[in-house]
Each structure stands twice: as structure tokens, then as C-alpha cells.
Amino acid sequence: MSPMLILGIESSCDETGIALYSTDNGGALLSHALHSQILMHREYGGVVPELASRDHIRRAVPLLRKVLADSGRVLADVDAVAYTQGPGLAGALLVGASFAEGLACSLGVPTVPVHHLEGHLLSPLLSKRPPTFPFVALLVSGGHSQLMRVTDVGEYQLLGETLDDAAGEAFDKTAKLLGLPYPGGPVLAQLAEQGRPDVVKFPRPMLHSGDLDFSFSGLKTAVLTKVREIGEPDDQQRADIARGFQDAIVEVLVKKSMRAVKDSGLKQLVVAGGVGANRELRRQLDAAALRARITVYYPELEFCTDNGAMIALAGALRFQAGVSTKPAGAFAVRPRWPLAELTNKG
């Protein structure tokens, strides 16, 4: 197959991402641009879906122009347009999908609808030191916490998942309980670095459940109970609570990930999603991997959160595999879309 140029568009939540990926010479990310809506949503304490959709509309064209200018390419060079079909906020997804399909129609090229989580799963392939198939993947973000066996593009086996809150969601909700600003997860992680180890101990939910599933909603309740017990926590007490909470989540994620790798018989663990940027999680995973003699792969920090580069990459890999491509025009978004539904048949 001759080299292809794939345009990727991400708009599932509160980041607008555009990227260009070339399949030439083994594949390369030519350029990418991202706009985050964090500052806009901060005053509301969370993402406002309608505002997110409107901002995606405002940002899409300027970001596309920037990506083309940075790469030295023109729209006529694009061979296919990949975009996030789901899961995510319905209105936000519709902005990206309609923009992508309209663009592809005007160019006379096909589109590649991409699963948002598949983009995260494959994002470490953008790294300078990428993994090879097959591998076990730990996907941890604000909306998802899953362990998957990844055999190839489109070949995914669910090993375990959260039964309630995702890890990132638990971070954000706990941060709110501690009075931390939005987005709370990264702020809580910073605060935890000032906390004293083992001063505040929280339960390790489902650590000994015998399976690879997670449950994090009880931790949030435990934090609420601790805050009420103290009354008005001072700065050090808040840091200690943050440390205890983070230690609990990280221990569960690390031990279940190591168990998944051992049970699979594989030697590679890929970590993806926004929580994958957490420094303590990376430190403990690296230490555990060294003891287990396996290798852990992470995406570059800029590709941990939502971005267009991972969608362009996933689209390119699916296009090369001959799956999930379609003529531009009619489309539908999937706000709820289990990753397990994906197969090589597209």
C-alpha cells in the first residue's frame, strides 16, 4: 500500500485536537494541535456539555489551519479523515463527526470512525520507544479504568474493569471533597506529594477479590468520612488525606496490573489515559515491573490526555488494516460504546 496521510480529529469531551499522521517510512506524526477548555469550565466546577460543543465549533478550523501550516501540507494531500465516534459527550462528538465527514466529502476521501479508548490504547505507539503487539494495557482515565489484552489493532480482550467510578473520576471527586480547584485530579496528585506516608490509611478496594475488576466509589466515601471526622482539615491534614487516597488507588492499580501481566504470560504492560501521567503510579509501576522482569510503556505526557494524534494514529492503523473505513457522508455518534465491541471486522 502506498503511503497515506491521515487527518485525525478528537472532540469527545473538553479538548479539541487535530493531527496529521503519515504512514510513510513506518509511520510518523507530522503535526498536531490541541486546545483545552479547562479554564472555561473551571468556574463551573466541571465540564458543561453545551459550552464544550460550542467551543469545539470555534476551535476546529483554526486548529486545522495550524496543523496544515506546521506540517507544510495542504488539505488536498489528505487521503482519509479519522475522527472520534464515541464514547463521549453526544454534542461534542457531533461537532467533530460532522466536521470530519463534511471535510472528507469535500475532499472526496473516506472517513475512519475511531473508538476514543482505542486511541488511548494505541497512543504509546507514538512514543520514541513503542511497544509491540501483543501486550496488556491498563487504561486509566476520568471515565474508564480497564485492563485489556491487546493482540493487534482491533483485537481486544477485556480482562477487568471498574464496577463503579473510574480512577480519574475518583481523583476528581475526592479533590472536590478536599476543596481543590477543577480539574481536581492533577491538583490532588500534587498535594499528595506533601502528605506524610501512612498517617491516613484508606482501604484497598477489591485488592484481594481474586479477579481483575476495580471499585473506587467506596474510597470517595472513606475520604468524606475522614473529612467529617476532622471537621476543618488544615493544609497538612489535607495533604495527608490526599497522600492516603492516592496510595490506596495506586496500590490497587499496580498489583492488579502486575497480576494481569503474569496471568497473560506476556512481558509488556502499556499504560494509557490521563491518570497514566500520575508520577506516583509511574514510579510504583516501574519498580514492580523491574522486580517482575517486564517492560512498562507510557505515552509521552502530551499524549496522556485527549488529543488528535492518537485518533490520527488509530485511524491510520485501521485504514492500513482495511477495517472501519467508509465513504464520507452519513454518520452517527456513539456516546456509549463498549470497547469490547470492536473487532478486526470493524
Rounding to the nearest 10 degrees, give the CA dihedral for residues 178, 179, 185, 189.
-60
139, 272 contact by CB (below 8 A): yes
Residue 345's pLDDT is 37
Q: pTM for the full model? A: 0.95
Q: Domain limits of the chain?
A: 5-123+304-341, 132-298
| Secondary structure letter of residue 196 according to DSSP | P
**DSSP summary character for residue 164:** S
pLDDT confidence of residue 346: 38
241 Cα distance to chain centroid:
26
- Report the sign of the C-alpha dihedral through residues 112, 116, 120, 122, in that order: negative
Using a CB cutoff of 8 Å and minimum separation of 24, what contacts does 197-203 make? 197/243, 197/247, 198/244, 199/240, 199/243, 199/244, 200/226, 200/240, 200/241, 200/243, 200/244, 200/245, 201/244, 202/226, 202/244, 202/245, 202/247, 202/248, 203/248
Nearest to 85 by CA among 72, 98, 75, 74: 98
Query: Which pLDDT value is given to residue 185?
Result: 93
pLDDT score of 343: 54
Domain 132-298 has CATH 2.60.260.20: no
Reading the chain (346 residues) residue by residue, the pLDDT tens digits are 789 999 999 999 999 999 999 999 889 999 999 999 999 999 998 999 999 999 999 999 999 999 999 999 999 999 999 999 999 999 999 999 999 999 999 999 999 999 999 999 999 999 999 999 999 999 999 888 999 999 999 899 999 999 999 999 999 999 999 999 988 999 999 999 999 999 999 999 999 999 999 999 999 999 999 999 999 999 999 999 999 999 999 999 999 999 999 999 999 999 999 999 999 999 999 999 999 999 999 999 999 999 999 999 999 999 998 888 999 999 999 999 988 787 543 3
The highest-level CATH class for domain 5-123+304-341 is alpha beta
